[in-house]
Amino acid sequence: MNSIYVLSESDTMELLEMEEVIEAVENVYREKTLGSGKLFPMVFHEFESQVADMDIKSGTLDDMGVYGLKLVSWFGENRKKNLPMLSGVVMLFDRETGIPLALINAEHMTGMRTGAAGAIGARYLARRDSQVMLMVGAGHQATYQIRAMQTVFPALKKVMVFDPVNMDNASVFVDNFGYKKENTQYIAVENIEAAAGEADIIVTATPSRKPMIMKEWVKPGTHFSCMGSDMEGKQEIDPEILASARLVADDINQSVNVGEFEKGIKEGIISKEDIICEIGDVISGREEGRESEADITVFDSTGLGLQDIAVGYMAVKKAGLMDDIKKMNF
């Protein structure tokens, strides 16, 4: 009889360190490019437009000997009920037998791996001397994005936070942000146009369906990590920005169908061929990301089930459970 281990949110909070998660997600991008990581088709359902949705992302990591899935739900009205807006579970299975290995609460883990993804995009595409970050969106994900970006860019001097829904959200977020660095300034901003013009790195993590940042606001050399567009119709930045930028995706097929590049392609502003490559190609040295200091770069992160599988596997191993699982099941 096989046994399935369960890891709670408190378990993952204790087990996962941002530096390790960044390394795991970076390795996933590399493995996907090299062919040992494969995605399965995504499942998505919107219960109510811009209010509640769910998706299932899955795949296999052959080198680790596991495959799996993550089912995640986003219910925006949960904030009013003092409940998490984002929740879900990750399931891991043995690659050789199909036997389930572990069930993992995905709330904290999703935040960690998504934060890591945004920072990895900046690591390989932003200017090395970047010192000013603009965080667009002051929700649950903002904490992880800033935390990860500070890990990759420890010399950040200024972090600005803008919330498109309510300025008070940004102020409350900055006051309560628990990972402040001694030499970094953290401020809530009301004028997104001025903030976008100052920023070296802009991270967007919202459910927006219309552009929040316009092309004429953005200075040469700016990098975007677009994290919020993960379903058809979502859009965070002016598609005209894409027309003159170097475009990189986590997965090209997902990006053109449900990502930040989707609307630009549908409107004829860019084409699929304008996407230079996937981020794994840049990490592995197959493609050049940024070519000059003046390049505007955009990383479209739609999210990969492989990230969750890899980080979940790491959590199970760090908990010392993998050997026990194999003994009991095999």
Annotated catalytic residues are 70
Beta bridge partners of 162: 136
- List strand residue ranges (DSSP E) for 23-65, in order: 37-39, 43-48, 52-61
How far is residue 113's CA from residue 94's CA, in Å, rounded to a whole number? 22
Q: Could you please report the per-residue DSSP string of 141-157?
A: HHHHHHHHHHHH-TT--
Q: What angle do CA 261, 265, 270 make, to 5 degrees?
A: 90
User: Of 138, 142, 52, 60, which is closest to residue 94 (Cα–Cα)?
Assistant: 60
How far is residue 57's CA from residue 155's CA, in Å, rounded to a whole number? 34
Other beta carbons within 10 Å of 191 = 11
Q: Could you give the C-alpha distances from 182 to 160, 171, 226, in angstroms and in order?
A: 15, 19, 27
The dihedral formed by the CA atoms of 303, 226, 123 and 106, expressed in degrees to the nearest 10: -30
Answer positive or negative: Cα dihedral of 243, 244, 245, 247: positive
* CB 204 within 8 Å of CB 138: no
* CB 173 within 8 Å of CB 163: yes
Could you give the residue ranges of the DSSP H alpha helices within the chain? 9-15, 18-34, 107-125, 140-152, 167-176, 192-198, 239-243, 252-258, 262-266, 279-283, 305-318, 322-329
* CB 298 within 8 Å of CB 226: yes
